[in-house]
A and B are shown apart, each in its own frame.
Chain A
Amino acid sequence: MAEHKEKNILEIKNLCTYFFTDSGTIKSVDGVDITLKEGSTLGIVGESGSGKSVTALSIMGLLMGTTGKVVDGKIILDGDDISHITPEQQRKLRGNQIAMIFQEPMTSLNPVMKIGNQIMEVILLHQKVTKAQARQMTLEILKKTDIPRAERIMDEYPFQLSGGQRQRVMIAMGLVCNPKILIADEPTTALDVTIQAQILDLMNHLKKTIGTSTIFVTHNLGVVAEICDEVAVMYCGRVVEAGDVYRIFAEPKHPYTKGLLASIPKLGEHVERLDCIPGNVPNPKFMPAGCKFAPRCAEAMDICHEKEPEFYEFENGHKSKCWLYDKKEGGVGR
């Protein structure tokens, strides 16, 4: 595979997405910074409620029908600032330059349309080809996803396919227009473990053959280890640690990341109690002042409860938002 330039295909700076509900404003994503290098796979990890899915939807502009709005931040796609484009321009990017696949393959396909037509729809929308050519392209991309009997599946309906097959169709639909970025929002969470493994294999394979830059949203660190090159850990709508996947697993810097990694039981390890992070994710309407993780953090200092930390950088782009690394505030430094 050719050498990838070290260019950032996607840069997100200080993204803020708030939901304006009748019972108050929920700051789902509050200052998220993310960079995706061309050709690589970035994992966004976090618990439910961390804002990872909302981040993905904000990039796609899929907040219609909800009370959510992107209130601040810059999104730069391949050098172009797409933060303030019109909805119509945004629409032209979707499916074409940025594609997304979702968590529930069982319900993400239109039940009354044939599979082939659903994929051809995307092609005919964004590219000037004939129907016959679109059909051919659909067949090719389906074959690339290792779906058995691709020809027959084209004329079948979603209810005739299994979960794993439907997810392959979703992947095919996402990749068919050769987007610059593919966002996968927990695509394997709703699948059986064995199918999960197959889909991850497929995605790894596609990474090597097609090479689409991918954002992989998940709460499962095992999946991250399998498929991601880089990771961003999110907590309470913010990125608390980001960097190369090996470095983060080997030397996590943020107490939350450490806690996540420590709570994974390891084969062969003999423990009496599972390690877990004490406390609960704060109620979005009652967010603590200062660092959002401070109330649950074993290493919290006084400054942690008062002010939110900035990013502190380590080698090779590894960074973490934690006062512990600020010498001035009494932390251990880098």
Chain B
Amino acid sequence: MLRYIVKRVLEVIPTLLLITFFVFMFVRMIPGDPARLVAGVDATGDTIEVIREQLGLNKPLFTQYFNYMAGLFKGDLGTSLKTNRAVSYEIGLRYGNTIKLAAASLTWSCIVGILLGIWSGKNRSKWQDYTGMTIAISGISMPSFWLGFIVIMIFSVKLKWFPTTGAGSWKNLVLPAFTLGSSIAAIIARFTRSSILEVMKEDYIRTARAKGLKEKIVVWKHAFRNSMISVITVAGMQFGHLLGGSVVTESVFAYPGIGSYLLDSINYRDYPAIQSLILIFSLHFILINLVVDLLYAVLNPEIQLS
């Protein structure tokens, strides 16, 4: 099993390198001249050149890439073109907020999603199933920005239970986490339901019933344990939606996280920031996938023992 873990971790490294390369190249492809943007609209050609040199944008591509990678290892993510402070500092201000938001969203959506999925699956084709699945399909069909606004209008403006914007206390987390997590909960619910239905058709479930076990135990101890493996995989895959969704959700709630920061940076053409943010997003995504793979190994005895 240790071998499997080491193997998976090692496999991640080339992917990471590939991603850093892509991100680097990709940012260079964004149209517009960053030096000009930084210099300002009225700057003369000379000023622009001076700035270009300051930013190191006149060196050959390879040198730029090398400097960039070297910087990465040192933890230097470049300097923001907008604020002139270190990008790592800017990100540092906001990273924690997004993590809190992501953790809250993922937690509630997994719990609710799994419970809803099993409730629907256990009562296949009965009213519980239809209700659960209607809720789920609405969840994935709803644009998150629309849901965010509705939720603000009801709970923040009309009922005044929660603040509309900002971060700081747990109250700031509730509405954004609900908005961000809803489509994920819906996907998890649908998948859990279909996974449970498939597992319930397996022969060993018939054996479990033949042993005289109560239906509740058949579902939770026998069926769910087997579904859990694939449910966790799907939940891990949703992490990507979480990251992407955070851009929209943070925008709606003016929540100071790295999602809204990405948006700001794109609008401003703040290349170092954009680059680092996309890198960070992708990194997290890959890491989560790695964790999911490892979890899969832990839960699946076949991998553990071979």
Contacts and interface: CB of A to CB of B under 8 A. Distances in A.
A and B in direct contact, judged by CB atoms within 8 A: yes
A91 B218 CA distance: 12
Contacts of A246: none
A111 B305 CA distance: 13
Contact of B212 (A96, A110, A112, A157): A96
Given A157-B301, A160-B305, A111 B211 contact: no
A109 interface: yes
B204 interface: yes
Nearest to A57: B206
A47 interface: no
A122 B208 CA distance: 9
B46 interface: no
Interface string B272-305: 0000000000000000000000000001111001
A267 interface: no
Nearest to B201: A65
A199 to B, nearest CB: 17
B28 interface: no
Contact of B210 (A94, A126, A159, A160): A94
Contact of A109 (B207, B213, B214, B305): B207
Given A102-B203, A108-B204, A159-B302, A125 B213 contact: yes
B204 to A, nearest CB: 5
Contacts of B207: 102, 108-110, 170, 173
B222 interface: yes
Q: Is the interface of B mostly helix, strand, loop or mixed?
A: helix
A173 B209 contact: no
B211 A102 contact: no
Interface in A75-90: none
B203 A104 contact: yes
Interface residues of A, number: 30
Contact of A91 (B201, B212, B222, B299): B212
B116 interface: no
A125 B211 CA distance: 9
Interface in B183-217: 200-204, 206-214
A92 B225 CA distance: 24
Interface centre among B299, B301, B302 (most CB of A within 10 A): B301
B149 to A, nearest CB: 44
Contacts of A122: 211-212
B250 to A, nearest CB: 39
B226 interface: yes
A60 B209 CA distance: 10
Contact of A95 (B203, B211, B222, B301): B211
Contacts of A92: 212
A8 to B, nearest CB: 23
Contact of B301 (A112, A126, A170): A112
Contacts of B226: 110-112
B210 A95 contact: yes
A89 to B, nearest CB: 11
A99 interface: yes
Contacts of B299: 112
A122 B207 CA distance: 11
A109 B210 contact: no
B300 A173 contact: no
A121 B213 contact: yes
A173 B204 CA distance: 13
A110 B204 contact: yes
Interface centre among B211, B214, B225 (most CB of A within 10 A): B211
A112 B202 contact: no
A95 B202 CA distance: 18
Given A62-B209, A94-B211, A102-B207, A107 B202 contact: yes
Contacts of B225: 110, 112-113
A93 interface: yes
A132 interface: no
A99 B305 contact: no
A91 B212 CA distance: 5
Interface of A: 60, 62, 64-65, 91-96, 99-100, 102, 104, 107-113, 121-122, 125-126, 157, 159-160, 170, 173
Interface of B: 200-204, 206-214, 222, 225-226, 299-302, 305
27 contacts: A60-B210, A62-B206, A62-B210, A92-B212, A94-B211, A94-B212, A95-B211, A100-B210, A102-B206, A102-B207, A102-B210, A104-B203, A107-B204, A108-B203, A108-B204, A108-B207, A110-B204, A110-B208, A110-B225, A111-B204, A111-B302, A112-B226, A112-B299, A113-B222, A113-B225, A125-B213, A157-B305
8 interchain residue pairs of minimum CB distance: A95-B212, A94-B212, A95-B211, A107-B203, A108-B203, A110-B204, A100-B210, A122-B211
